[in-house]
Amino acid sequence: MATPAQGPAESPCSTAPEGAEVHPADQKLHPSRLAPAALRHIAARYAGVVTPPLVIGQAVRLDTAGRTRLIAGAAALRQTLGVKGFVGNRLPFVNAASPAGIAPMRAIAVPLGAGIIPLAAPTSYADFPAWAQTVLGSGISTGALVAVSLNLFFHHLGTRGGTSAAALKFS
């Protein structure tokens, strides 16, 4: 069992006693060596996970949505089932790309962007009535107003009369 580091160490993760040689796998690399390794990792992941379903999907004439589902399914199977200890962690969870986070990120980004308007261009509301300048002149109130308005529009007003707001969402 490794002993905890005492005092300042060369690396924040180092548990080796002072003066002991650090294994090459535990050494902190220079950023000039980390960047190519990161790019190689991204390229290998794309080539291994995304390219085969794209080629197969095109060969069997799947549309874009079908290819996306094929990629997600192949990645999920490869991750959870594994290939004889070579690829995949064989645990009951899936760590694959998903567009599920796009809508919440957009719901956060649009009000934040609207809240930056009074800071970036303070005179943008100069032609508005005085009451609107008071409300919209603060980035916090502008962002909150946009967030509440978008929530009402997409989640409450669009569901009345049997029509869904899903058709109004951006893709």
Same domain, 38 and 81: yes
Q: pTM for the complete prediction?
A: 0.37
- One domain, residues 87 and 121: no
Other CB atoms within a 10 A radius of the CB of residue 111 amount to 21
Tell whether 80 and 51 lie within a shared domain: yes
Rounded to an integer, what is the distance from CA 125 to the centroid of its chain? Answer: 33
Say whether both 120 and 80 belong to one domain. no
**The domain boundary residue, chosen from 62, 79, 94:** 94
In this structure, the answer to whether residues 125 and 138 fall within a common structural domain is: yes
Q: Is residue 78 part of a domain?
A: yes
Q: Count of domains in the chain?
A: 2
Q: Which stretches in the chain have pLDDT values below 50?
A: 5, 7-11, 96, 165, 167-168, 171
Residues 163 and 104 in one domain: yes
Q: Are residues 110 and 158 in the same domain?
A: yes
Task: Assess whether 115 and 62 both reside in one domain.
Answer: no
Q: Write out the residue range of the structural domain in which residue 41 sits.
A: 34-94
At 108 the pLDDT is 83
- Residue 29 inside a domain? The answer is no
The reply to whether 111 and 145 lie within a common domain is yes
Helices (H), the chain: 31-45, 51-59, 64-81, 102-120, 130-136, 139-151
The pLDDT value recorded for residue 17 is: 64
Q: What is the pLDDT of residues 89-125, one digit of tens each?
A: 676 665 545 566 677 777 888 888 888 888 888 888 8
The residue from 72, 94, 116 where one domain ends is 94
Q: Is residue 10 part of a domain?
A: no
Same domain, 74 and 46: yes
- Asked if 74 and 124 sit in the same domain, the reply is no
Give 140-146 contacts, CB < 8 A, sequence gap 24+.
Answer: 140/115, 142/114, 142/115, 142/117, 142/118, 143/111, 143/112, 143/114, 143/115, 144/111, 144/115, 145/114, 146/110, 146/111, 146/114, 146/115
Of 71, 94, 117, the position where a domain reaches its end is: 94
* Confidence at residue 129, expressed as pLDDT on a 0 to 100 scale: 92
Do 88 and 106 share a structural domain? no
